[in-house]
């Protein structure tokens, strides 16, 4: 009875919100900067006023309680003037609620974004330039104070076009911030020992503070042994099992965090995207991309789901994400209908595609479709890739600072 009385009043209020929300959404929102807040009200109303349940039944009552709590939480968020992305955490699948399992289909669908909506394009190049400017100053200060600069050794086995291109980009970035770099190229058919010898030489070289073996390497070589051979203190890729293990363990600090994953968090932070408590879905679980990114997102207190090649119906998982990271290497893999409206998309895919005489890189996400749904998205090229490179420079400077026990103040 108590519920019923409360519900009657509650429904009146929520219907009122719903009506206002609809009016704004239909007539004013397309021209109003206040759409985000108003849409939130529409969502709130729509969420709470759907009355397809019977209050006499216990399960429905618990749903009602859940709706009430959600609505109160949403109201608080609206009043607290939070951003649109905050609304995207609305639980739209009551069936999965911990408040009781209902054998019902979805009863609320997110309202569509206004027609003509396009996501904010995240400018990774500018972010990378900002980071590089700070790093360049620090490298210069180091040089002036102790007469040393950080050094990076890049090992490239074989002649893969994409690897060659990535290594060149890394070397050029080093030059921009005055980090010394050396590329050591080995033939496709080199032996395991030859690679290990090069790593050992660089491990002992005082002027080299970071070592990177460009991946993938030819199949006859043992990736595991090669990565393990890099001195943990020079492992600027963060792929050494000790660094990766420490990343996975709460309370432990890896010496280096993989550059792409750090780049992903850097992009989210700089775009003021809240990570804590958000649903993040990472597509891919490779050592260089998906796995460390999922670990790092957990460290930032996101609730993380990993999608991989054996995941059934991946779109059912991705469409719940507030933050979606894709690291697969298949162009246009992620389609528009895989996304929840308002999601923030980080496209880590970077596949080199040949076209007649030229070649260019393509991401994993179908950009044209995604911009109709996402609130923000990293393009390819010019998104998270350049930030990844700047994180490699950051890690190399960190390695040198540790080696010389040098800090800005000293
Ligand atoms: N921008 C950046 O900073 C970086 C970009 N990259 C780019 O990311 C892409 C992936 O690289 P890399 O991690 O080396 O590739 P890998 O091939 O090592 O890993 C690909 C991942 O995608 C998963 N996958 C493959 N097919 C599917 C599918 N149909 N559905 C769901 N998941 C699938 C695989 O799952 P499973 O494990 O089950 O096989 C695997 O975990 C490349 O384009 C690369 O250039 C990589 C690192 C950094
Ligand atoms: N040991 C190792 N460490 C890596 O970090 C590593 C690796 N191996 N193997 C391959 C992947 C891939 N990766 C990219 C980094 C930057 C861009 C990048 O800067 N992309 C530019 C475009 C590049 C272009 O135009 O060719 C952009 O997106 O704007 C892309 C991909 C690092 N990886």
Per-residue pLDDT, averaged over 107-119, amounts to: 61
Task: Delimit the domains of the chain by residue range.
Answer: 2-96, 131-236+395-404, 258-389
Is 70 exceeded by the pLDDT of residue 15? no
Give 315-358 as a DSSP string. Answer: HHHHTT-SEEEE----TT-B-GGGS-TT-EEEE---EEEEETTE
Choose among 219, 202, 137, 195: nearest CA to 394: 137
Choose among 395, 58, 370: nearest CA to 237: 395
Which two structure tokens, joined as six digits, stand for 298?
Answer: 């957990």
Per-residue pLDDT, averaged over 36-47, amounts to: 33
Ligand 1 atom 45 nearest Cα: 350
Would you say the CB of residue 40 lies under 6 angstroms from ligand 1? no
The pLDDT value given to residue 102? 26
3-class secondary-structure state, position 359: strand
Q: Which CATH architecture has domain 131-236+395-404?
A: 3-Layer(aba) Sandwich (3.40)
Positions marked catalytic: 170, 214, 237
Ligand 2 atom 30 nearest Cα: 385
The pLDDT value given to residue 23? 54
Is 50 exceeded by the pLDDT of residue 198? yes
Per-residue pLDDT, averaged over 92-120, amounts to: 44
Residues at CB less than 6 angstroms from ligand 2 = 165-166, 169, 212-215, 237, 259-260, 288, 350, 361, 380-383, 385-386, 388-389
pLDDT band, very low/low/confident/very high, at 98 (cuts 50, 70, 90): very low
Instruction: Please give the C-alpha separations between residue 311 and each of 15, 287, 331, 363, in angstroms, as whole numbers.
Output: 40, 18, 18, 20
Choose among 288, 338, 292: nearest CA to 311: 338
Higher pLDDT, 252 or 73: 252
Q: How far is the CA of 180 from the centre of ligand 2 (A)?
A: 19
- Superfamily covering domain 258-389: NAD(P)-binding Rossmann-like Domain (3.40.50.720)
Q: How far is the CA of 349 from the centre of ligand 1 (A)?
A: 7
Is 60 exceeded by the pLDDT of residue 2? no
If you ran DSSP here, which 8-state letter would residue 380 be given? S
Tens of pLDDT, residue by residue over 254-275, are: 999 999 999 999 999 999 999 9
If you ran DSSP here, which 8-state letter would residue 234 be given? G
Is 60 exceeded by the pLDDT of residue 26? no
Q: Report the relative pairing of strands 358-362 and 351-355 from DSSP bridges.
A: antiparallel
**Phi/psi at 375 (nearest 5 deg)?**
-90, -30
Is 70 exceeded by the pLDDT of residue 356? yes
pLDDT band, very low/low/confident/very high, at 114 (cuts 50, 70, 90): low
Is 60 exceeded by the pLDDT of residue 50? no
Q: Do domains 131-236+395-404 and 258-389 have the same CATH topology?
A: yes
State the chain's mean pLDDT as an integer: 81
Is 50 exceeded by the pLDDT of residue 106? no
Question: Within 10 Å of residue 357's Cβ, how many Cβ atoms?
Answer: 5
Choose among 58, 92, 71, 64: nearest CA to 342: 92
Is 70 exceeded by the pLDDT of residue 183? yes
Is 50 exceeded by the pLDDT of residue 88? no
The pLDDT value given to residue 357? 86
Is 80 exceeded by the pLDDT of residue 225? yes
The pLDDT value given to residue 360? 92
The pLDDT value given to residue 19? 62
Q: Which helix (H) or strand (E) holds 279?
A: strand 279-283
Q: How far is residue 143's CA from residue 178's CA, in Å, rounded to a whole number?
A: 10
pLDDT-above-70 percentage for the chain: 72
The pLDDT value given to residue 79? 39
Is 60 exceeded by the pLDDT of residue 111? no
| pTM, two decimal places | 0.78
């Amino acid at each position: 009875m108590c519920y019923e009385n409360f519900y009657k009043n509650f429904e009146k209020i929520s219907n009122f919100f719903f009506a206002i929300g609809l009016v704004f959404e239909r007539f004013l929102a397309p021209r109003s900067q206040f759409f985000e807040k108003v849409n939130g009200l529409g969502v709130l109303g729509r969420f709470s006023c759907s009355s397809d349940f019977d209050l006499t039944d216990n399960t429905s009552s618990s749903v009602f309680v859940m709706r009430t709590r959600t609505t109160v939480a949403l109201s608080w968020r609206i009043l607290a003037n939070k951003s649109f992305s905050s609304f995207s955490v609305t639980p739209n699948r009551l069936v999965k609620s911990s408040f009781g399992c209902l054998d019902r289909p979805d009863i609320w669908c997110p309202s569509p974004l206004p027609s003509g909506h396009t996501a904010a394009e995240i400018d990774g190049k500018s972010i990378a330039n900002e980071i590089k400017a700070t790093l360049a100053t620090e490298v210069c200060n180091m040089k002036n104070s102790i007469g040393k600069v950080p050094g990076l050794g890049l090992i490239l086995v074989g002649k893969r076009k994409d690897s060659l291109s990535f290594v060149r980009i890394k070397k050029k970035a080093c030059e921009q911030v005055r980090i010394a770099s050396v590329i050591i190229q080995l033939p496709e058919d080199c032996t395991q020992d030859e690679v290990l010898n090069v790593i050992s030489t660089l491990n002992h070289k005082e002027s080299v503070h970071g070592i990177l073996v460009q991946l993938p390497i030819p199949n006859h070589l043992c990736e595991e042994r090669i990565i393990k051979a890099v001195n943990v203190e020079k492992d600027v890729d963060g792929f050494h099992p000790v660094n990766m293990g420490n990343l996975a363990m709460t309370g432990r600090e890896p010496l280096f965090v993989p550059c792409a994953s750090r780049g992903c968090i850097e992009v989210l932070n700089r775009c003021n995207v809240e990570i804590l408590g958000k649903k993040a879905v990472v597509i891919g679980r490779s050592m260089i991309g998906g796995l460390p990114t999922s670990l790092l997102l957990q460290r930032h207190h996101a609730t993380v789901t990993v999608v991989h090649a054996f995941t059934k119906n991946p779109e059912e998982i991705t469409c719940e994400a507030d933050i979606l990271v894709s690291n697969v290497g298949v162009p246009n893999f992620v389609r528009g209908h895989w996304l929840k409206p308002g999601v923030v998309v980080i496209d880590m895919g970077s596949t080199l595609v040949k076209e007649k005489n030229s070649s260019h890189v393509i991401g994993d996400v179908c950009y044209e479709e995604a911009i109709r749904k996402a609130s923000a998205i990293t393009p390819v090229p010019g998104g998270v890739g350049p930030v990844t490179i700047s994180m490699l420079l950051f890690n190399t400077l960190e390695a040198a600072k540790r080696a010389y026990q040098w800090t800005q103040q000293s």
